[in-house]
Each structure stands twice: as C-alpha cells, then as structure tokens.
Amino acid sequence: MYEDLLAILEDTERVSVNETVLEHHSGGTDYLERKKPDIVVFPKTEQEVVEIVKYASSKKIPIIPFGAGSSIEGHLMPVFGGISMDFTLMNEVTSVYPDDFVVKVQPGVTRMQLNKHLKKYGLFFPIDPGADATVGGMAATNASGTNAVKFGTMKHNVLGLQVVMADGSLISTGGETIKSSAGYNLTELLIGSEGTLGIFTEITLKLTGIPEATVVAKAAFETVEEAGKAAELVLQSGVGIGKMELVDAATIQAVNEFKGTDFKETPTLFLEYNGTAEATKQGITFIKELMEDSGSTHFEFENDSIKRAQLWEARHQAALAIVGRKPNRKLVSTDVCVPISQLALSIAYTRKLLEEYEMDGAILGHVGDGNFHAVFGLNTEDEEEMARFHALNEKVVTFALEHRGTCTGEHGIGVGKMKFLKEERATSLKMMKLIKRSLDPENILNPGKIFEMEEVTIE
C-alpha cells in the first residue's frame, strides 16, 4: 500500500507509517479506545484525493477523513484499519465573495483561521463549536455550539460541497446561492454523514455581517426551573437572542474553587444580544425586564469587549474548571438535546445523577435550543470511573429519549453512540442503510460509524 500511495503523492513526507503519526491518527480527543490506521496520507489537491479514493476503491481499503482531531465520539477511529486521510495541508480559503456573503474553503481550514481571514471584509462565519475544528470536520458532524440559537447549525450555513464519492468520482452539490430547490438536497444529506457517504474537498459557506454592537448579560435565579422558564419567555418574545446559556449552581461552585473567583453560586442564564448599537441598548433593556418578571434575583450586563469576557467567565471557564481540577484528565461529555420545555427538568435530573454516581461535572445548557452537556474530566484508563460515566450517560440519553429528545445535539454518533441511534432511529435506520449501500456499496468510506452495515432490502 505504501508504494502505491507514494506513487500517487510522489512525496515521502506526505505518506506516512511513522508510529507517532499513526498514533496521532488513531482517534480524536475522545474517551474511546484508540486504533491505528495502516497508513496516513496528506493530500494537497482535490485531484490527489480523487486518485487516493480510486486506489482505495479498487483495493477495498477503508478511508477515514481526518481534520483537527477534535471529534469526541470516535469518528476518527480506523475501526477496520485502512488509510487515514489528513486534510491539514488542504487549508486554503479558496475564494471570498464578500458582496455575496459567500466563502469557499478547503476542508482543512479551521474556524479561527477562517474568521481571522474574513475580518477585513466585516464578515464572519458564525458556527462556533468551541474547539478550533476544521470546517470539513464541522460539516461532517453538523457541528454547532453557542451561536446556534441565532444562526443555526452547520447545515444552515453550508451552501454547497465538492465531494469525492466512493468510486472516486468528483461531484458538486448546492452552489453559491442562499436558496435553491434544484433537485435532492444532497448537501444536507452529506452534512452530518460523518465521512461515510463522501469526502469533502471544498465547502461553500454562507457568511454573516459582523454586527455593529454586542452586549452580554447574566441573570441569576433561585432554581434551574425558573431560569429555564425565563429562557422560554425570551424565545417566545421574538427579540432575536444571540446566545443563551444556562449554567447550574454546582458548576459555578466548581469554577469558583478552580479559579478562586467568587461568582454567585446560583443557576445563571448567560445571554448575548447583538445588532446595531441602538437596537442592542433597547434589546437588553427588554431582556432585563423579562428576566426580572421571571424572578431573576440579579441581572448585570456589559457592552465593552473586555468586560463582556469577564461577565461570561463562569460560563467560559466551566469545562476547563472541571477538567483542570485534577492532572491528566480528558474532557468527556454527554450531549443530548430535548424540546425546550423539557430542558430545565432534564438538567435537574442530570445534576441528581451526577450526585448519585459521585461524578464531578459541569452542566452547560444551550438553553435556546434544548441541547446541554454534562462535562467531566476523566481518567479514561480508569475502568471503574469510565463505567460510571457510561452508566450515567446511558441514563441521560434514556431520559432524553423518553422526553421527546435526541441522543446527540451536536457531537454526532461516531462509534460512541451507535447503540443509542438504533433505539432513537428504529424506523428510519433502514433508509439510512439503503442510502449508504447505494452510494458506497463496498463500505470503504469511514466504515463502522453511525451504524453497522448489513443486508437491507426494500420491496
């Protein structure tokens, strides 16, 4: 395989069986076992990707696309060995059309790199999953984050794709327009398909104007339920909130312990509103009234960028505070999403579970969209600790499914959540498998992810 791939790439530095390189490509930043690929390639051009896929297709060798390595559900694990295809060297912003609010990027461009590049145009790409992930990886998992309440997820912000299919053919989907009803929506089928239906070589993104002003606020409540109700009111008002995050009291306590801060240890809503300077003034006044009407015991807001960061510190530091309390811990997280009315309930239930399982964790809720995480710093080698996490995670997922929710709001299925998907998508899994088989009959594209392939038929 080495010689064949070297013949394609003609560069010994871009075809590697070096142990350190293989180890780096044996998984993401996840809690799962690691498994080395047979080889790692670093394509620089679309044509190289095509040739590698054609080669792999002819030999039935698995291909696992690899970006920043920030997956946390095992998407990057070479379950059946094969070729890990690292997109680090395909990291160019190909073209910017500022008047169209459109940019085209190679899959290895990272979120922060992109936004740095876009700043001079007064534009930005609003999806922010936290990690400095690659755009390719974010598209492959339909990533989102704290901005989703206003800007949606990747699927709302990807306009088109260049994709290498399992047989090596290069296709383009979507385009550069905001809207299109031209045939099947292949773009959004591919987004979130976790590398199992095609490999992205170029991604066309919709951009947003950087708003003139941003104001952030925090509102303290006596109970998580009251905070949840207040968040519902904000959504119902149609005020157009930018971000809305819920942090529970125990999480703020953990931040105070870790950082030596003295934030008030109560359930707290963190809010962000943006728009024109005048509109933000009015918007925040309106939000303040809503919070006070909902029983908020304390409300603060800030316009200045440094003070904004300070005001949100308890939110920003929460995951780090949990992971950082003990040395050599890995961030491990739950990721369910429930209908908005079920969020406060689900968070309170999860906090009880943490106590029951004696797990030290932060609870962070994207309360504008019902997605929340219980975040832990775990020693993934510690079987007993991991067993407790798995038991807790299963209960959190079961509770979400029982409350009309989903097992993953934004992290994806990968390897880690396959068993939950079977339960959640009991009726539609067949349709997914029919599509997978029709587009990748030899199952070479990131095999062993989302579901196990098996014979499926439709009469």
Site for a copy of itself in 271-330 (CB under 8 A): 274-276, 278-279, 281-283, 285-286
DSSP tag of 325: T
Give the per-residue SS3 of 62-86: CEEEECCCCCCCCCCCCCCCCEEEE
- Evaluate whether 268 touches 220 at the Cβ level (below 8 Å): yes
* Of 91, 32, 87, nearest in space to 64 by CA: 87
203 lies in the site for a copy of itself, by CB under 8 A: no
Query: What residues contact residue 84 under an 8 Å CB cut-off, 6+ apart?
Result: 22, 25, 37, 39, 40, 41, 64, 66, 76, 78
451 lies in the site for a copy of itself, by CB under 8 A: yes
Q: Which stretch binds a copy of itself (CB under 8 A): 105-113, 142-150, 216-224, 254-262?
A: 142-150
Least separation in angstroms between residue 385's CB and a copy of itself is 26
Among the listed residues 112, 309, 387, 434, the single contact to a copy of itself using CB under 8 A? 434
Least separation in angstroms between residue 49's CB and a copy of itself is 15
Between 34 and 437, CB nearer to a copy of itself:
437
Tokens, residue 262: 């003295």
79 lies in the site for a copy of itself, by CB under 8 A: no
Among the listed residues 324, 348, 430, 453, the single contact to a copy of itself using CB under 8 A? 430
413 lies in the site for a copy of itself, by CB under 8 A: yes
Least separation in angstroms between residue 275's CB and a copy of itself is 6
132 lies in the site for a copy of itself, by CB under 8 A: no
102 lies in the site for a copy of itself, by CB under 8 A: yes
Residues 351-390 that bind a copy of itself (CB under 8 A): 366, 368-371
Least separation in angstroms between residue 267's CB and a copy of itself is 18
- Evaluate whether 232 touches 269 at the Cβ level (below 8 Å): no
CA 37, distance to chain mean position in Å, is: 24
Among the listed residues 339, 348, 380, 388, the single contact to a copy of itself using CB under 8 A? 339
Residues 10-49 that bind a copy of itself (CB under 8 A): none
Tokens, residue 321: 């505070």
CA distance 322 to 326: 8
Least separation in angstroms between residue 244's CB and a copy of itself is 12
Q: Which stretch binds a copy of itself (CB under 8 A): 256-264, 338-346, 353-361, 384-392?
A: 338-346
* Of 423, 356, 366, 365, nearest in space to 389 by CA: 356
CA distance 262 to 137: 37
Least separation in angstroms between residue 377's CB and a copy of itself is 23
Among the listed residues 33, 45, 97, 325, the single contact to a copy of itself using CB under 8 A? 97
Among the listed residues 61, 205, 318, 421, the single contact to a copy of itself using CB under 8 A? 421
Q: Is 453 helix (H, G, I), strand (E, B) or coil?
A: coil
Least separation in angstroms between residue 87's CB and a copy of itself is 20
* Of 125, 194, 182, 132, nearest in space to 153 by CA: 125
Tokens, residue 119: 């700043």
188 lies in the site for a copy of itself, by CB under 8 A: yes
Q: How many residues bind to a copy of itself according to rule CB under 8 A?
A: 109
Residues 209-248 that bind a copy of itself (CB under 8 A): 209-212, 232, 235-240
Least separation in angstroms between residue 321's CB and a copy of itself is 25
Least separation in angstroms between residue 342's CB and a copy of itself is 8
Between 6 and 213, CB nearer to a copy of itself:
213
Least separation in angstroms between residue 169's CB and a copy of itself is 7
Query: What residues contact residue 128 under an 8 Å CB cut-off, 6+ apart?
Result: 111, 145, 146, 147
Give the per-residue SS3 of 78-137: CCCCCEEEECCCCCCEEEEEHHHCEEEECCCCEHHHHHHHHHHHCEECCCCCCCCCEHHH
Residues 168-187 that bind a copy of itself (CB under 8 A): 169-173, 175-186
Tokens, residue 130: 């936290």
DSSP tag of 454: -
Strands 83-86 and 39-41: parallel
Between 169 and 310, CB nearer to a copy of itself:
169
